[in-house]
Amino acid sequence: MSKTLDIRPTAGALGADIGGVDLSQSLSDDIIAEIRQALLDHLVIFFRDQDITPDQHMDFAKRFGDIVEYPLVKGLEGYPQIMTVVKLEHEKHNFGGLWHTDTTYLEKPPLGSILVARELPPYGGDTEFANMYMAYDTLSEGMKKLLDPLQGVSVSNLPRVKQTRQARVDDSSKVKTDTVLTAIQPVIRTHPETGKKLLFVNGAHTIRFEGMSDEESAPLLKYLFEHQTRAEFTCRFRWAPGSIAFWDNRSTQHNPINDYQGFKRVMHRITLAGDKPS
């Protein structure tokens, strides 16, 4: 129980709204520790009615770890470590618009991200989150035993995710168009802070199991991708002006819903450095 913060669970599976704090201010170490514990307890935490500048966004993020730049697309002008997640009025695909864990094609995927709403459509654009502890816990013992020694191959260029970021790659790419980033990740990961096991594959980046072909891996991966985003493992966040979401990328997946055609949506994201999964 927090001594200071007003923490209210969002759904049965994960998520909590946090009140009683102004993120534009310099926060005490005790408050930061309470926020970090809330993140570990609820996996994704939400703040409402916040008014923060890019500098304050950076200052808040630095209290939780080192900031890393997104590897594929340039950041905000003057703030390379803040990524602008935008969909313009004429665009059909939204950035990252499918269930995924961020950048598992890196050897050290992020600890998490802090996303600030800057410009919102009049409706739509909610984000769903899913609990990967629950995805693991609800597998049969036989399936856990099968998956435990397996490693997943994650890549940055699967067609289903490439199309969601193509517009931003076209206007602000940091790498050559044929660049492919690849990393090997454990299928079952142990969270470095909670010590709990979780399912660590995702439909945006995991292409196969190490030592197997794409075709051999596909049926089991298809099952796992469908299993890990079951409705009872999820929560859904409705954005409003001043909203901020902070998710643990190690234990969650997220899905920004693309249901606001013809409208603009602009978000600012800061990503925190993670460790090598084990």
Enzyme catalytic residues: 100, 102, 254, 269
Residue linked to tokens 């055609």? 261
* Closest listed residue to residue 18, CA positions, set 30, 178, 31: 31
What does the DSSP 8-state code read for residue 31?
H
* Closest listed residue to residue 14, CA positions, set 273, 247, 202, 199: 247
Q: Are 170 and 86 in contact (CB under 8 A)?
A: no
End-to-end CA distance of the chain: 30
- What distance in Å separates the CA atoms of residue 199 and residue 144, rounded to the nearest whole number? 9
* CA-CA-CA-CA dihedral for 162, 239, 46, 228, to nearest 10: -40
- What distance in Å separates the CA atoms of residue 78 and residue 54, rounded to the nearest whole number? 10
Residue linked to tokens 């969650």? 252
- What distance in Å separates the CA atoms of residue 141 and residue 74, rounded to the nearest whole number? 44
For residue 98, the number of C-alpha atoms closer than 13 Å in the C-beta half-sphere is 15
- What distance in Å separates the CA atoms of residue 148 and residue 46, rounded to the nearest whole number? 32
- What distance in Å separates the CA atoms of residue 75 and residue 69, rounded to the nearest whole number? 7
